[in-house]
Chains A and B, each alone.
Chain A
Amino acid sequence: KNQVEQSPQSLIILEGKNCTLQCNYTVSPFSNLRWYKQDTGRGPVSLTIMTFSENTKSNGRYTATLDADTKQSSLHITASQLSDSASYICVVSSSGGSYIPTFGRGTSLIVHP
C-alpha cells in the first residue's frame, strides 16, 4: 500500500531560525514528490517538485532534497518568517496504475516572533 509519513507532526520555532521537515514514502513505482504549503483555511499550493534524478531543488528560502534510494525527502526552511506559519504537506505520485497522488498528513509549523 502506498503511504507517506511526515515528521514531526508539529513544530514551533522562533522567527529567523531554520528548520527541516521530513517525509518518508513507500509509493512505488515512484514518479515525483511535491511539497505543498497550506495556510490555515486555504487550499494547498505547490512549493517544489522532485523527480527521480533530482537530489536538491531550491525555491527561495525553501530547499527540498530527495533520496530515492532510502525513499526520503526533506524540506529545509531558511531564516524563517512569520508568514511561513502553515502546514507543509508531502505528496508523492506514482507512475504505476494508481495515478491518484498519496498525501502525507502534513507538518504544522508555527513561527513565533
Chain B
Amino acid sequence: DSGVTQTPKHLITATGQRVTLRCSPRSGDLSVYWYQQSLDQGLQFLIHYYNGEERAKGNILERFSAQQFPDLHSELNLSSLELGDSALYFCASSPGLVNTGELFFGEGSRLTVL
C-alpha cells in the first residue's frame, strides 16, 4: 500500500460525458502528479501540483483540467469524453517540489468510455 488513494477504481461512461477522478496523496506529501496510461502504452505525464499551485503541464488536453485543494487532495476533471480517453489514470505523490525522490503511485482509476 503506497498510501495514495484514488477513487473511483473503475468508471464506465458514455462519449460526451464529464467525469471527476479523485486523489488523496500520502500524508505529508505536497506534490501530486497525474498520469494517463492507455492500453499497452507508457505513462504519459498530464499535470503536476505542488501545495495547491499548478507547477507543470504535460500533454494534457484542453478538455481536461485539474486542481489541488487546501487539504492537498486533487481532482482531475475530464469533459466531452471521447472513446480515446479510455485509459488508466494514475495519481502519484511525493514529499517536495524537486523530484530527487520517489513517486508513490495510487492504484489508478480505470476509465472506459463507450
Residue from the list B4, B42, B58 in contact with A89, Cβ < 8 A = B42
Contact of A99 among B92, B97, B108 (CB under 8 A): B97
Chain B residue numbers with a CB within 8 Å of A106 are 42
By a CB distance below 8 angstroms, the chain B residues around A100 are: 33, 45, 48, 56, 58, 99
Task: A5 to B48: give the CA distance in the assembly, Å.
Answer: 23
Interface residue count on the B side (C-beta < 8 Å): 24
Q: How many residues of chain A have a CB within 8 Å of chain B?
A: 22
A43 engages B42 (CB within 8 Å): no
A41, B88: Cα distance in complex, Å: 8
Decide if B45 touches A49 in the complex (CB within 8 Å).
no
Q: Which residue of B lies closest to A100 (CB)?
A: B56
- A43 adjacent to B100 (CB under 8 Å): no
Q: Which residues of B contact A25 (CB under 8 A)?
A: none
Interface of A, secondary structure class, is: loop
B43 to chain A, nearest CB (A): 5
Complex interface: chain B residues within 8 A of A95 (CB): 100
Closest to B90 in A: A43
A84→B81 CA distance, assembly (Å): 35
Chain B window 93-109, contacts with chain A (Cβ cutoff 8 Å), 1 for yes, 0 for no: 00001111011011110
What CA separation (Å) do A5 and B39 show in the bound complex?
A: 19
Interface centre among B42, B58, B90 (most CB of A within 10 A): B42
A43 touches B99 (CB 8 A): no
Interface contact A103-B43, CB-CB below 8 Å: yes
| Inter-subunit contact B110/A41 (CB<8 Å) | yes
Q: Indicate whether A93 reaches chain B with its CB closer than 8 angstroms.
A: yes
The reply to whether A43 and B58 form a contact with Cβ atoms under 8 Å apart is no
User: Which residues of A (31-54) have their CB < 8 Å from a CB of B?
Assistant: 31-32, 34, 41-46, 49
Known: A32-B100, A104-B42, A105-B41. 11 other contacts (CB 8 A): A34-B102, A41-B110, A42-B108, A45-B2, A46-B103, A91-B103, A98-B56, A99-B56, A100-B33, A103-B43, A103-B45
